Amino acid sequence: LKISAIPPLIAEAILSDTGGVATLVGDPPNVMIAASTGFTFNSFIEHLTPLTVIAWIATMGYMRYYYRDWIETKPEHVEELLAEDEWAVVRDLRMMNRTLVALSLTIVTFSVHEIIHLELEISAIALGGAGLAIALSLPDLPEVVERVEWPALLFFAGLFIMVGGLEGVGHLTALASWIFDTFADDPLMLAVAVIWVSAIASAIVDNIPFAAAMIPVIHKLGELSEGDINTAPLFWALAMGCGFGGNATPIGSSANVMTVSIAERGGHAISTAEWIRVGLPVMMITCVVASIFMILFYDSLYVNP
């Protein structure tokens, strides 16, 4: 097509990060929060999906403005591309259909397990769905292993070790404690502060390890306040901040890291500066939207689902 592939790749990752805030399984920090608090799949949809839709629209609007020159670029060889059979890339239709069945059953189970009182953790349901997909499709394991993004996995391993060191010496806990000490007298402002600090920290150290460090601290705050502070809004704020903050940098979320890794393998290197020029304003916009949402609907978030 003779056009740059970088803008749609960055847009795909950023919109994925933004949309992932909407559901329990949309982003790893959400899964961690749910496992720690008991928040359900449906409660994430009820509390965060309306916000995410607004943030997603705002993100799309900004990215259309930022990439307006790229959008106006006339691609070449469009007729040849449209003439291609898109189904030709599907190498095994039976495997695809079986995998879609397993995925559909998993999502349905996520949605109804609370209603039917299914005593299973979300992680168990997800692993069960993955196991079902493998059992139904019987993939070629050597080929699967060969296509794993090992550089990205090694990057995550190194990043988590580094962040684990920061947590081990108490830096992340000290940061969280400072937030709570500063804003403990105003629970609403405390929740807004959690959004912004979580967003900034997630952009620097990745949202997964930061969420892991913050979750026990929020629980501790609830214990120390002896019930005076309801921690439910703080956990929703943590989900908002970690999800939206991951947009800012290429290491802010797993989707970003995978996008950069796959793009580089395809010959489209994405620099950190190029990502930040797009992602940082998106983080600011979505966090402003989240802050307004928190201020307007704090009472709705105040009750544990």
Q: State the average pLDDT for the chain.
A: 84
Predicted confidence band at 94 (pLDDT cuts at 50, 70, 90)? Answer: confident
Domain count, the chain: 1
C-beta separation of 1 from 81 below 8 A: yes
Provide the pLDDT for residue 305: 44
Is 81 within a domain? yes
64 vs 159, more confident: 64
Is 102 within a domain? no
| pLDDT tens sequence across 21-60 | 999 888 889 988 988 888 888 899 999 999 999 999 999 9
Average pLDDT over residues 187-211: 89
Is 143 within a domain? no
Of all residues in the chain, the percent with pLDDT exceeding 90 is 30
Of all residues in the chain, the percent with pLDDT exceeding 70 is 95
Is 139 within a domain? no
Is 98 within a domain? no
Gap between the Cα atoms of 187 and 123, Å rounded: 31
Provide the pLDDT for residue 125: 84
Provide the pLDDT for residue 280: 95
Is 101 within a domain? no
Structural domain of 286: 6-89+148-301
| pLDDT tens sequence across 135-176 | 887 777 787 788 777 877 787 788 778 777 877 887 767 776
Gap between the Cα atoms of 30 and 204, Å rounded: 19
Gap between the Cα atoms of 177 and 214, Å rounded: 10
Tokens 């965060």 correspond to 48
| pLDDT tens sequence across 210-235 | 888 888 888 877 776 666 678 899 99
Is 128 within a domain? no
Gap between the Cα atoms of 222 and 212, Å rounded: 17
Taking the alpha carbons at both ends of the chain, their separation in whole angstroms is 49
Is 96 within a domain? no
Residue 303 has pLDDT above 70, yes or no: no
DSSP type of residue 209: H
| DSSP state letters, the chain | --S-SHHHHHHHHHHHHHHHTTSTTSSHHHHHHHHHH---HHHHHHHHHHHHHHHHHHHHHHHHHHTHHHHHS--S-HHHHHHS-GGGG-S-HHHHHHHHHHHHHHHHHHHHTTTTT----HHHHHHHHHHHHHHHH---HHHHHHTS-HHHHHHHHHHHHHHHHHHHTTHHHHHHHHHHHHHTT-HHHHHHHHHHHHHHHHHHH-HHHHHHHHHHHHHHHHHHTTTSS-SHHHHHHHHHHHHHHTTSSTTSSHHHHHHHHHHHHTT----HHHHHHHHHHHHHHHHHHHHHHHHHHHHHHSS--
Residue 1 has pLDDT above 70, yes or no: no
